[in-house]
Structure 1
Amino acid sequence: MQDILTTYIPRVAVQPAFELIKANNVHLKIVNERVTRHGDYRKLPDGSHQITVNANLNPYRFLITLVHEIAHLVAFHKYGRLIKPHGKEWKYTFQTLMLPFLRPEIFPNSLLPLLAIHFKNPKATSDTDTRLALALKQFDPPNDKNYIFEIPPGGEFRLYNGKVFKRGNKRVKRYECVEVSTGRMYLFNPNAEVEYLQ
């Protein structure tokens, strides 16, 4: 398992991440990209714990996602299954588990201040933290995607499922976008990655 982790997370983080996996009896599955999530945790019918993480994540996002999912397991075990999945118990657990990894030997100096801010009150996904998401994206392999906020008003974009939208105005936090074929209005997170149709 440690050899496998070396492929996906920063080398200095391998041993402590392996200890977390071992201590919580996690079956880690590294899977092909899923567009809607970076990872997930589930308790299987036989009582074992399975965590899946997308193989295409950069090392820093992979590590954050792995610890995020282990935090679900630990929080449910400690506080019971009735807690909210991303409630205060999970946030506290995630902060506690992530703290030993927030070091310059593991994360680049450009990410550490943003991670410190993010972990004061972690969100359900780091993608909703625009500044952190942009900073993490710098470590992704180049792709042809744009964020919604980069698309000009009235510009059209395509989702992974082939649907085409036209970007509208920003509401409080999200952008109103009209599906071209149906005229239906949808709200998009500013840093959702899409294909800009120029």
Structure 2
Amino acid sequence: MDKVKVLEKYLPPEAAPLIGRWIDYFKCEFKISRNRNTKFGDYRAPHGDKGHRISVNFDLNPYAFLVTTVHEFAHLHTWNEHKHKAKPHGTEWKNNFKKMMQPFFEKDVFPPDIKHSITNYLNNPAASSCSDLSLYRALRQYDAPKEDVYTVEKLPLKALFKLKDGRIFRKDEKLRKRYKCTEVKSKRIYLFSPVAEVELIEE
């Protein structure tokens, strides 16, 4: 099946031809991956007999899929230019991400709120990776609604919640960027991102 036709199932359709051309141009193995809770996408530099490899989670909404794909291609492009000398989300990567985002801005692929968040993210050197929360929240607005799924920041203090692996936690106070949460069984403290998805346990 034509790769652009496959990409159109995951990306905004007008973005698919350019991503298809990048896959060919950079001779990149591009894989649509199962869901990974800890990351949306991944880039692996050439190693041994393997070339560039990018994988993006299959279950992202089209805008999140596109932002993640451009994010990973910016890593690839930065590696080609600087090898290991550039920091993962340093100035070189940011400049490439900005340049590689430009064609999608010109095509008006993104709704205004996402475009605004991407622009802010790119103008803010302190936001060193796609864990930028305002961008993440803007992208999340376009997810299909999920029943019984909450983000940690939306839970009341001291609420109990469950992860997919069955472990149960209590939400405690917020530190600078993350929430302290106590695993009920082991009493160990863990730090959770405000936007981590969990299941509320009704007491």
TM-score (norm 2): 0.90
Is 1:2 the equivalent of 2:4?
yes
The residue type paired with residue 142 of structure 1 is: P
Divergent runs of 4+, >3 A = none
- Aligned position for 1:136: 139
Offset at 1:104? 6.4
Contact 1:12/1:105 (8 A) holds in 2: no
Runs of 5+ in structure 1 lacking a partner? none
TM-score (norm 1): 0.92
Offset at 1:44? 4.2
Is 1:100 the equivalent of 2:107?
no
- Going from structure 1 to structure 2, the CA distance change for 1:104 and 1:115 (only over 3 Å counts) comes to farther
Tell me whether 184-193 or 57-66 shows the greater mean CA deviation. 184-193
The secondary structure found in structure 2 opposite 1:29 is strand
Q: Distance in 1 between matches of 2:108 and 2:99?
A: 18
- Aligned position for 1:169: 173
Q: Distance in 1 between matches of 2:59 and 2:122?
A: 23
Q: How does 1:1-198 map to 2 (within 5 A)?
A: 1-42=3-44, 43-103=46-106, 105-121=108-124, 123-125=128-130, 128-143=131-146, 144-198=148-202
Q: How many residue pairs align between the two structures?
A: 196
Runs of 5+ in structure 2 lacking a partner? none
> What is the RMSD computed on CA atoms of the aligned residues?
1.6
The secondary structure found in structure 2 opposite 1:22 is helix
Q: Distance in 2 between matches of 1:163 and 1:84?
A: 35
Tell me whether 16-25 or 62-71 shows the greater mean CA deviation. 16-25
Deviations 1:22-75 (A, max 9, x none): 221111111211111111111342141111111111000000111111111111
Give identity over the alignment, percent.
Answer: 38
Q: Distance in 2 between matches of 1:83 and 1:111?
A: 27
The secondary structure found in structure 2 opposite 1:102 is helix
